[in-house]
Structure 1
Amino acid sequence: MKRTLQTLLIALISVLKTHAQSPQFSQFYANPIYANPALAGDAGTPRFIANYRNQWASLGNAFQTAAFSFDTYAEDQEIGLGVQALHDQRGSALKSDQLSVQVSKMVFLDGQKEFRLIGGLQSAWTLNHWNGDNLTYVSQFLGSPDPLSGMSIQQNRITLSAGGLLEFVPKDEDYASYWVSTAWHNIGVNDNISIEHQRLNLQLGSKIPIGIPSFFGNNLGSDLDRESALNLGLQVRKQGSSRQLDAGFNIILSPLILGVWYRGMVWGETRRDALIGTAGWAYGNMLFQASYDLPVSSLGGDTGAFEISIWYGMDALFRFAGKKANNRNSRKCLRY
């Protein structure tokens, strides 16, 4: 228990020094508009998403992040719209609330409409709140009050974010699709946010169709109206001196999703973080996915995290057909 409390204290001190760091999700692919505003509307139908993360769950509710979003796609204008509310709690002293809106625009780069370029913008209002009531300060043991003890400090920020996505989605679903995206977050508007506080991320991915095993049906899959694919993904994220790599895969044998991911660095100064196992259910207009972070860092097993993601689409999210079916169906897929 003593070791756990010491670890928590070290983490809280680190958080105070890096309070500008943005929250992270192991299932970054399940919270698309948080990663890149260009992904607003990528389901091609009105969609609700809820994400919840409990970091270091063995210590109670010390670090929690929750996000709720809605996005939709205006087919005739090829424009995506989104809105998201996010709450991040870091111990009893620090919390952050954010409300953001996103807009994206898609253009086709070829006559077959297989190469697509999507740009996106985000505007966000963030309230950071510091409450020192429940903390004990060294100065108190020395007989003098600390200026931060008992104080409540709030900071409001308005920021912009921009992102882009280039993807190849073939008309023939038997061929693999590919994409690359990048986003630049926390561009200050009413407050001068230095480049050290801005967040940059790059994502690469591929969706490779695979045959459905015979115990799921007749080994054809087309008449089962199911996804069956190997989804590979990589994300590189940088904010200030913090660098992070996420890489792994999800196997979709609809309605099942199983995956393994790694978070940490593989070049420069090695900084291992976690192995992440995922399991989920995706069919029709519903997705439920859960994951657990198994620590592989020097902090030990008390630093694991549990995460869940839930999607609900007003129309089918997977294997959809309808008006302009080829265009809309190509947007309705699990990217990872």
Structure 2
Amino acid sequence: MKACNKRISAQSNTTVRSGEDRLKGLAINTFFLFFILTSLTNQVNAQDPQFSQFFAAPLYLNPAFTGTTKEHRFVANYRNQWRNVANGYVTYAFSYDYNMRDARSGFGLMATADKAGAVEMGTKSVGFLYSYKIKLSNNWILTPGLHFAYGSRGIDKDKVVLLDQLSYGDATIASNDPLVFSLKDHDYFDFGSGLLLYSKTFWIGASAFHMNQPNISMISDNSELAMKTSIHGGARIRLYNGPFRRNIVPSIAPSFILKKQGSIEQLDLGVNFHYDPVMFGMWYRGMPSKQNLEEKNISQDALIFLVGMKHKQLEFGYSYDVTLSSLGPTSGGAHEVSLTYHLHNPNRRRPKVKYKDIPCPTFLLDN
């Protein structure tokens, strides 16, 4: 009988602990939701997701890159950041652009999606891009670009846990809290522009997204999405220009991007080494000229390592961000993958107008 009582007591204690663990988990979700809503109420400016391989997400970087390839270009980007911190941030981007040489124009489509946290708060957008090429000389082209998009911001309400559900001890029971009914997905229009100057070897550009600073609040409040601006540039430098012809010539591609959104400023600076069909790169992200007032040291974010390969018209890149900020290695860093596919017809007729097109320097394929 004593042994039986001990087993019953042990089972009861296990059940109690299990219930306590579940309530702790529910409490964490509730706190996370409260944090999000507090941020929205206080009109905290949101920050756009970023790609370490910004050169492999050209339309996301600057709409003026639209149509700067030989003909058709398909790009897919995936980023998983800080997966060990509150479910982290996951970002997707897909784009297609086409170089219409006869019209000296580029046309493109881009779709993006991101989500973060236990309630998968995120933004989705679909946009149209256009660029026009202005020939300055036989070696230089100036390209202005435009971006028009429709976006939506929201959360997964099925993963929201509120206080009345905690009191029931069962998160599957529907909540009667009016807060859950006030949360609504918010749709908005977005506008951006950019400018790009390039030759076969060098390029430099500037872009501005969210120029209309759309309201993205989900609680009938005002929370503007701050305009994102950037200045970026780079080069593709051959490491051999001797008298002998070589089928494969090694090259380096240094580049940078200086970006600002709201109060956030960052500098990405690095170089890729190419020896087809492989590429290696190393990058730094931070703002060495600025001091982090809280930590009393320089503002730094990550050290980025990159490897890439190409096979015919297909390009592949993988990068990993080593976190240098106070989050440290426990954040899980960031994994990023990019895929680019070029499609063109070498026998396509030349344009009717007398216009010499110059593809922008690429990072894996030689033009």
Under a length normalisation based on structure 1, what TM-score does the superposition of the two structures give?
A: 0.80
Deviations 1:107-165, CA, capped at 9 Å, x for gaps? 1112xx2121110001000100134553556899899x875446542111111101001
Q: CA deviation at 1:222?
A: 4.8
Structure 2 residue corresponding to 1:265, chosen from 275, 283, 287: 287
* Structure 2 match to 1:35: 61
Matched residue type, 2:342: G
* Structure 1 match to 2:122: 95
User: In 1, distance between residues paired with 2:184 and 2:120?
Assistant: 10
Structure 1, gaps ≥5 residues long? 170-176, 213-218
Residues 131, 152 of structure 1: 8 Å contact kept: no
Q: SS of 1:34's equivalent? A: helix
Residues 104, 119 of structure 1: 8 Å contact kept: yes
Q: CA deviation at 1:207?
A: 1.8
* Structure 1 match to 2:134: 107
Structure 2 residue corresponding to 1:44, chosen from 70, 74, 78: 70
Q: Name whichever of 146-155 and 180-189 sits farther off.
A: 146-155
Deviations 1:280-336, CA, capped at 9 Å, x for gaps? 0024211000000001111111220000000111138xxx89866994564362289
User: In 1, distance between residues paired with 2:270 and 2:74?
Assistant: 25
Residues 228, 259 of structure 2: 8 Å contact kept: yes
Residues 213, 226 of structure 2: 8 Å contact kept: no
Q: How many residues are paired up?
A: 312
Residues 96, 127 of structure 1: 8 Å contact kept: yes
User: In 1, distance between residues paired with 2:71 and 2:63?
Assistant: 16
Residues 215, 224 of structure 2: 8 Å contact kept: no
Deviations 1:185-219, CA, capped at 9 Å, x for gaps? 1122875999871111110212211139xxxxxx9
Residues 133, 149 of structure 1: 8 Å contact kept: no
Q: SS of 1:266's equivalent? A: strand
* Structure 2 match to 1:232: 254
Structure 2, gaps ≥5 residues long? 1-23, 169-175, 217-221, 292-297
CA distance 1:228–1:220, change in 2 (3 Å): farther
CA distance 1:289–1:283, change in 2 (3 Å): same
Q: Name whichever of 67-76 and 326-335 sits farther off.
A: 326-335
Q: Name whichever of 261-270 and 55-64 sits farther off.
A: 55-64
Structure 2 residue corresponding to 1:209, chosen from 238, 250, 253: 238
Alignment of 1:155-304 (within 5 A): 155-169=186-200, 177-188=201-212, 197-211=226-240, 222-224=245-247, 226=248, 228-269=250-291, 270-303=298-331, 304=333
Q: CA deviation at 1:19?
A: 6.0
Residues 140, 146 of structure 1: 8 Å contact kept: no
Q: Give the percent of matched residue pairs that are identical in Structure 1 and Structure 2.
A: 29
Matched residue type, 1:199: K
Matched residue type, 1:154: D
Structure 2 residue corresponding to 1:20, chosen from 26, 43, 46: 46
Q: Whose helix fraction is larger, Structure 1's or Structure 2's? A: 2
1:68 matched to 2:68? The reply is no
1:116 matched to 2:144? The reply is no
Matched residue type, 1:103: Y
Q: Name whichever of 199-208 and 56-65 sits farther off.
A: 56-65
Matched residue type, 2:275: L
1:54 matched to 2:80? The reply is yes
Matched residue type, 1:334: F
User: In 2, distance between residues paired with 1:49 and 1:236?
Assistant: 23
Residues 309, 364 of structure 2: 8 Å contact kept: no
Q: SS of 2:125's equivalent? A: strand
Residues 196, 205 of structure 2: 8 Å contact kept: yes
Larger radius of gyration: 2
CA distance 1:254–1:10, change in 2 (3 Å): farther
Under a length normalisation based on structure 2, what TM-score does the superposition of the two structures give?
A: 0.74
Q: SS of 1:159's equivalent? A: strand
Q: Name whichever of 57-66 and 96-105 sits farther off.
A: 57-66
Matched residue type, 1:89: K
